Amino acid sequence: MDELKTGRRDRRNHWWPKKSAGIAPVFVFPPRPVAFLKWLPSYFYPWTVLFFATGALFWWLLTPSMETMATLSWGWVAWIVLRNAVATALFYGALELPLYIKRWQGTRFKYNPAFPEDRANPAFWWKSQTRDNMARTFIFAVPIWSAWEVLILWAFASGLAPMSTWAENPGWLVMLALLVPFVHHVHFYLVHRLLHVPAIYRRVHAWHHKATNPSPWSSLSMHPIELMLYFSGAGLHLLVGSHPLLALFHLHYAGLGASVGHIGFHTIETGREAGVDTHAFTHYLHHKYFEVNYGEGLVPIDKWMGTWHDGSEEGDRLMEARRAGRRAGQA
């Protein structure tokens, strides 16, 4: 694929898409029905469909029975941790191997042309961003993700949480399934904005922002406190008469889906003239500039709060104006 058909390289050889990052035409006034219908397939494909499918697969084939999970025991809890670790290794590895290890795509569509492993970085364990991020993912992220999952599954199985069935409440559960991405993005914005409060940032979120040039393994390389907050969004399913399948979908959307914003490539090539849009640009800009795009464009809270950056020169101008205003206020 020719990356210059859809983007450009700047003086530092960083790749920028010609089309600025957009806001989903959902929470807009006046309504834009034609734009909404054109956008709708991208809401489902590829990521939402993929993570719903993995959540369903885990529920139907890889989750113990409700009778087993009604009682907490080390056997099934260890199984949950193990299968989440394997899923993480396979999914993240499937992105990291071709793009960052084999480098089959080279730097085509890569925002930052540098690869993290090409130089030692003392900010990371073993001076290696990749090995550091992998270790933190398996030491901290997978156990905390699994702890939330165990809590939710046990609460459903033991009757502590209200649960709907597909036979009795299909409409309600379908609606919840459609809302999971929206709920995740609102929750992510709120948690993320909290983590950028200076005192919290220095002690917690700075762990994650060591990766200014992120790769897939950077996705869940977070402080344990941040991980507890990040996965807490799935706790909603304990309150609203949901179903374990939807809780797993939510956790996969958060756990496996964290990689989407950290891929570092705008397009993953799937053929000579074919590729998949990663939707990674918005969050890449957050890692580049730190104080923009605390959420994503699905629910435009950044737009409403004045912290949106769409990657354009106008976005740069607005960001610099905010910075100048902040400096003036501190003078």
For 133-163, the pLDDT digits (tens) are: 999 999 999 999 999 999 999 999 999 999 9
Beta bridge partners of 276: 268
d(CA 100, CA 120): 15
Lowest mean pLDDT among 29-43, 238-252, 284-298, 314-328: 314-328
For 248-295, the pLDDT digits (tens) are: 999 999 999 999 899 999 999 998 888 999 989 999 999 999 999 999
pTM: 0.95
The number of helix segments (H) and strand segments (E) in the chain equals: 14, 4
- pLDDT band (50, 70, 90) for residue 11: very high
Phi, psi of 88 (to 5 degrees): -65, -45
- pLDDT band (50, 70, 90) for residue 44: very high
Beta strands in 7-69 (DSSP E): 7-9, 15-17
pLDDT at residue 331, as a whole number:
57
pLDDT at 25 over 80: yes
pLDDT at residue 29, as a whole number:
87
Beta strands in the chain (DSSP E): 7-9, 15-17, 267-271, 274-277
3-state secondary structure of 242: strand
Given a contact cutoff of 8 angstroms between Cβ atoms, the answer to whether 47 and 276 are in contact is no
